Structure 1
Amino acid sequence: MFVLELTYTAPIDAVDAVLEEHVRWLDQQYAAGAFLASGRKNPRDGGVILAVADSRAAVEKIAASDPFVVAGVCEYRITEFVATKTAPALEPYRETLG
């Protein structure tokens, strides 16, 4: 599992100019099964996405396709972790240490 932390690198008006495209991109990633949760940070200086993928390279490729990245208004920090405990709704994503 992966935590994707977005940090805005441009003024909020530049971020807002690409927001609609970013939301469509999010919808595509949810439909593909890659994203489990997402939202803005508070204060609004970026966002957080909880994602699943077969590899870090796959997640990096997804992040690089974000319209925010393409427009140069954010950068990503990607953290991989092993989800050994989850809420019942996330049980299909539970992992074991190996």
Structure 2
Amino acid sequence: MKGEKTMKYYVLEGTFVKNLPDKSELQKAIDEHLEYLKKGFNDGSILVSGPKIETGGGIIVVKCEDINKFCSDDPLVKAGIQEYRISEFKLHDCQSYLKDWFEQ
């Protein structure tokens, strides 16, 4: 249909840049990033997120229409602390309890 928006699904891998700011500036940006993610959970666009164990950065599974805007609006990206590797995927199968998220 004309004007109909299509959600796409992505796995984002965030990686910290090499030259990080001081601890207080980094923590402020992380706190803002976590608030940003909370909005995504509240509006249903984020399925899961979490930090990577061995390095800085994290993983997010998200659905949205404009992934570039989603990434550029992230406070960690705005602060120049994190970059995202974006992988779009097409759902093949999932656990039954996840189907609602993919069908919304």
Which TM-score band (shorter chain)?
A: 0.7 to 0.9
- Structure 1 residue identity aligned to 2:35: R
Question: How many aligned residue pairs are there?
Answer: 91
Q: Given the two structures, how large is their TM-score scaled by the length of structure 2? A: 0.78
- Matches of 1:11 and 1:89, distance apart in 2: 39
The equivalent position to 2:90 in structure 1, one of 82, 88, 96, is: 82
2:79 is matched with 71
Say if 1:8 and 1:15, in contact at 8 Å, map to a contact too.
no
Amino acid at match of 2:51: R
For the aligned residue pairs, the C-alpha RMSD in angstroms reads 1.7
| Worse-matched range after superposition: 66-75 or 3-12 | 3-12
Q: Which has the larger radius of gyration?
A: 2
Structure 1 unaligned residues grouped into runs of 5+:
none
Normalised TM-score (structure 1):
0.83
Whole-Å Cα distance in 2 between the matches of residues 81 and 48 of structure 1? 14
Shift of 1:16: 2.4
The runs of 5 or more residues in structure 2 that have no matched partner are 1-8
Identity rate, percent: 31
Structure 1: distance between partners of 2:90 and 2:26: 31
